[in-house]
Structure 1
Amino acid sequence: MDALELVINRRSQPRLQAPAPAGEALENIKRAALRAPDHAALAPWRFIICEGKGLNKLGAIFEQSAIDNDKSEREILRAPQLPLRAPMVIVITTAYQEHEKVPAPEQYASASCAAMAMQMAAVPQGFQGMWRTGDYAHCPIVKAGLDIDPKDDIVGFLYLGTPAQDVVDKPALDPAGFFRTLS
């Protein structure tokens, strides 16, 4: 698969199973993250890899968040199961740096690019992923449970694993509806 084909045909895959990326495949995914666009070389991102017992710990943090945020009984029961939808979850966070030319939104965008780079690096190695956010990505209880500085943000949870089914093809959007030329 060449790079252009990879980017043009990017899809999320919510149905994931073991194995997760490991060894050289995981190292490639890590290296891809560190090549994200990064104005002033601030490295404004950090990553937490959860697998095995780490997935259960992440689920317990989600459960505590659901309890403390008065979620429904159904949501509380579901919360600890959420990370188990894949054999690996990588939590992508910001690591904001003070810089006069690189505001926080630009640093958040860099961390977002790192998340996409990791997902793209997984695909040619036989893996797939799903980038998820939701309430847990914006919850101070989750941030505290993961020992993330209160000033930083969770950009998302990248679920990674082996596809459990064929990737569903999505209809292509027509670029004409999204681009215009300034003349």
Structure 2
Amino acid sequence: MLARRSYSKVTAETPSTEEIERLLEAAATAADHAGLAPWRVIELRGAARERLGDALAAAATAAGADADAAASQRRKPLRAELLLAVVVSYRESRKAERWEQDAAAAGVAHLLTLLLDDAGWGAMWRTGPFTRTAPVAQLHGLTVDEALLGWIYVGGRPDGARRERHATVDLAQRHTQLRIAGED
């Protein structure tokens, strides 16, 4: 995990649907309060990526973007041959609030990126200002009880891609202990 990195550029090589399913089986072990499995993953390949580009461009245009900005949105899904849309599918629950279901779905997405990296694939979880717009939701066939968390762009690792470790975090700033007065 310490060596994992995001690949903003990937080659056209992609894992098969069967490989994705094997990795999803492992990713599904993410923490999930109440065992709701409040998520699903949608593969986008080929023309589906072009339709996503059209939906992003439509959302950008509806938000007042000019033609150049809309065209830029249209090209974004073409950066990889495989996109995995990660969807949170909210379930009715007295135990797990919506934010916990968001966390469970995000946990699956994060584990999936780790598993893809471990399997030798380049991956990058991407979002953007139009991730949760009507044209994008419609393209993905989302229900009123679902929301898109973004896409994992997947492909081969380019020759010569850097594999250096992420910058380390200052643990003194990120890790503390709650101390109660009078307790040792």
- 8 Å CA contact 2:57–2:74 kept in 1: the answer is yes
Q: CA deviation at 1:141?
A: 2.3
Runs of 4 or more, structure 1, over 6 Å off, are none
Does the CA-based 8 Å contact 2:3-2:163 persist in structure 1?
no
Partner of 2:182: none
Please tell me whether the aligned partners of residues 13 and 167 of structure 1 are also in contact (alpha carbons under 8 angstroms). Answer: no
Structure 2 unmatched runs, 5+: 180-184
What is the rounded CA distance, in whole Å, between the counterparts of 2:20 and 2:14 in structure 1? 9
Pairing partner for 1:148 from 138, 142, 150: 142
CA contact (8 A) 1:19 1:161 kept: yes
What TM-score comes out, normalization by structure 2 length?
0.89
The match for 1:86 is 80
Partner of 1:178: 174
Q: Which residue of the partner structure matches residue 3 of structure 1?
A: none
1:49 matched to 2:19? The reply is no
Is this contact kept in 2: 1:44–1:97, CA < 8 A? Answer: yes
Supply the RMSD in Å over aligned alpha carbons.
1.6
Aligned match of 2:54 in 60, 75, 86? Answer: 60
Aligned with residue 137 of structure 1, among 131, 156, 163: 131
Q: 1:33 to 1:137 in 2, by over 3 A?
A: farther
Instruction: Quote the offset at 1:83 in angstroms.
Output: 0.7
Distance 1:168 1:74, change over 3 A: farther
Output aligned runs, 1:8-23, within 5 Å.
8-22=2-16
Cα deviations by residue, 1:90-141 (Å, 9 ceiling, x for unpaired): 1111110010110000000000001111111111211021111111212122
Percent of matched pairs sharing the same residue: 27
In the superposition, the TM-score normalised over structure 1's length comes to: 0.89
Q: Which amino acid aligns with 1:181?
A: Q
Structure with bigger gyration radius? 2
Q: SS of 2:156's equivalent?
A: strand
Is 2:2–2:165's contact at 8 Å kept on the other side of the alignment?
no
Q: Could you tell which deviates more after superposition, 98-107 or 123-132? A: 123-132
1:166 corresponds in structure 2 to 162
- 3-state SS of paired residue (1:67): helix
Determine the structure 2 residue equivalent to 1:77. 71
Structure 1 residue runs of 5 or longer lacking an equivalent are 1-6
Paired residues, number: 177
From 7, 20, 23, the equivalent of 1:26 is 20
CA distance in 1 between counterparts of 2:96 and 2:145 reads: 16
- Specify the SS of the correspondent of 2:4: coil
Letter in 2 for 1:80: R
Distance in 2 of aligned mates of 1:46 and 1:24: 16
